[in-house]
Amino acid sequence: MLPHNFAHLASAEPRLRAVFSGLDRWVESHRTWPWLVPGIVARDLPTLDAFDLADALGLAVSHGLLRVAYTVLTPSGVLADQSFESPSAIPSLIPDRREYYFETGSLPIVPIYTGIKGGVPDEMAERELGAS
Amino acid sequence: MSPDARDALKAKVTEYGVLIQAEHQSSQARIRALQNRMFNEIPVEQWQTAATALDAILGKNGVIHVAETNFHIGSAGIVNTGEISGSVTGHSQLINVNENAQALLAALIQFKNAVQDDVSLTDDQRADGLSIASDLEAEAKKPKDAWNLSKIRNGIAALKTLGAGAQTILSLYQTVHPFIAAYFNLPL
């Protein structure tokens, strides 16, 4: 699940106070979502500056509230099931949920943010969940 | 990140955001190509900020729309139930990726891996098997109207011939042939 206590990070970066408040509101209204996609948040909160949102999410990562991973947007508009630690770590072929492999090289990269424990549909998260 | 570096990064991401949006009919491939170019032009430690800001710009402007899928938590972590409640909209174009193509490419990869690992094959058999599979793979990645059906038929025949002298390849051929036939609409 996503954390919903971003507001306290505003003490570390007061200029981002409005962004953290927005993130808290967004998470509150998406309680069942395991991940946060910047493009969706920006669409839902259009007054937020894209770079301020990136800075706020980066700060949440550095404070251990969130983890960032990268995946690709499949041709059907759905995020691929697997996500990876870096854009450069995305393999050229990954399987869909029916085990059919598809090429990733021409698909847009999408960053996804998840809570530190649980909530990311990838092997990286499962390894961590298994270890915890 | 220093203020100067942040300003430079902001300018770079804005530049790519404008580039992508200016194309009005940006395909997924074009968006990815521009993303790759952007990543190549900035230090790795700035990728997170850049990827996030660019995604926010594109999401806000409807260039990329991520379908909202439902997830539930299982014992092994998250399982995607695949319930799609959205669609790709905005200026993104859908790329028609045929599921048969994915199946064929996966089968050819498995074929090549098996041939590569089989110590019972001679070097020539291995090289020929890999070469034919690569040729078929290259054809499968082309648009339908660019397929060289003669080359594809010759590749199938060559695999069959090769299989006559190597049981492993014959067995693999029998597995991969239905995928090739289905994708290229050829008789089995």
Tell me the per-residue pLDDT of A30-58, one tens digit each, with 9 for 90 and over.
Answer: 888 888 999 999 999 999 999 999 999 99
The number of CA neighbours under 13 Å toward the Cβ of A2 is 23
Sheet strands (E) in A16-105: 35-36, 66-72, 93-95, 101-103
Pair B107, B40 in one domain: no
Terminal-residue alpha carbon distance, chain A: 16
CB distance B95–A106 less than 8 Å?
yes
Q: What is the Cα–Cα distance from B39 to B16, expressed in whole angstroms? A: 10
**Which residue's structure tokens are 């301020």?**
A52
Judged against a pLDDT cut of 60, whether residue A124 lies above it is answered with no
Nearest CA in chain A to B39: A87
Q: What is the Cα–Cα distance from B50 to B80, expressed in whole angstroms? A: 27
| Model pLDDT, residue B175 | 81
Give the domain-ending residue among B60, B75, B108: B60
Domains: count for chain B: 2
CB distance A110–B13 less than 8 Å?
no
φ/ψ of A95, rounded to 5, equals: -85, 145
| Model pLDDT, residue B188 | 75
| Model pLDDT, residue B54 | 95
The string of pLDDT tens digits covering residues A90-110 is 998 887 766 677 889 999 999
- Confirm whether B44 is domain-assigned: yes
Question: What band does A6 get if pLDDT is binned at 50, 70 and 90?
Answer: confident
- Confirm whether B27 is domain-assigned: yes
Pair B108, B179 in one domain: yes
Q: What is the domain extent for residue B158?
A: 99-184
Judged against a pLDDT cut of 50, whether residue A125 lies above it is answered with no
- Confirm whether B86 is domain-assigned: no
Pair B178, B107 in one domain: yes
Exposed, middle or buried, B150 (CB in 10 Å: 0-12/13-18/19+)? exposed
| Model pLDDT, residue B25 | 56
CB distance A34–B79 less than 8 Å?
no
Question: What band does A21 get if pLDDT is binned at 50, 70 and 90?
Answer: very high
Pair B106, B165 in one domain: yes
- Confirm whether B79 is domain-assigned: no
Q: What is the Cα–Cα distance from B182 to B113, expressed in whole angstroms? A: 22
| Model pLDDT, residue B21 | 78
Are B158 and B150 in contact by the 8 Å Cβ rule? The answer is no
- Confirm whether B78 is domain-assigned: no
The string of DSSP letters for B4-33 reads HHHHHHHHHHHHHHHHHHHTSS-BHHHHHH
| Model pLDDT, residue B120 | 85
Q: In what order do the strands lie in the sheet with A66-72?
A: A35-36, A109-115, A66-72
| Model pLDDT, residue A24 | 92
Q: Which residues of B touch A93 (CB under 8 A)?
A: 105-106, 109
| Model pLDDT, residue A26 | 92
| Degrees to nearest 5, angle at CA B31 with A101 and A69 | 60
Check CB contact of B39 with chain A, cutoff 8 Å: yes
CB distance A78–B49 less than 8 Å?
no
If one compares B102 and A67, the residue with the highest pLDDT of the two is A67
Q: What is the Cα–Cα distance from B77 to A128, expressed in whole angstroms? A: 10
- Confirm whether B87 is domain-assigned: no
DSSP secondary-structure letter at B94?
Answer: P
CA distance to partner chain A, nearest, from residue B21 (Å): 14
Pairing of strands A109-115, A66-72: antiparallel
Q: What is the Cα–Cα distance from B179 to B175, expressed in whole angstroms? A: 8
Nearest CA in chain A to B10: A51
The pTM (predicted TM-score) of the whole model is 0.59
Residues 6 or more apart in contact with residue B25 via CB below 8 angstroms: B91, B93
pLDDT tens, N- to C-terminus, chain B (188 residues): 888 888 899 999 998 888 887 775 568 888 899 999 999 999 999 999 999 999 999 988 888 777 665 333 322 223 333 322 222 222 222 223 455 676 788 778 878 878 887 888 888 888 888 899 988 888 887 777 888 898 999 999 988 888 888 887 888 888 888 888 888 888 87
Query: ipTM above 0.90?
Result: no
Token code pair at residue B82: 């695949």
Are A35 and A112 in contact by the 8 Å Cβ rule? The answer is yes
- Confirm whether B72 is domain-assigned: no
CB distance B51–A42 less than 8 Å?
no
| Model pLDDT, residue A101 | 77
- Confirm whether B69 is domain-assigned: no
| Model pLDDT, residue A4 | 75
Nearest CA in chain A to B106: A101
CA distance to partner chain B, nearest, from residue A132 (Å): 12
CB distance A76–B69 less than 8 Å?
no
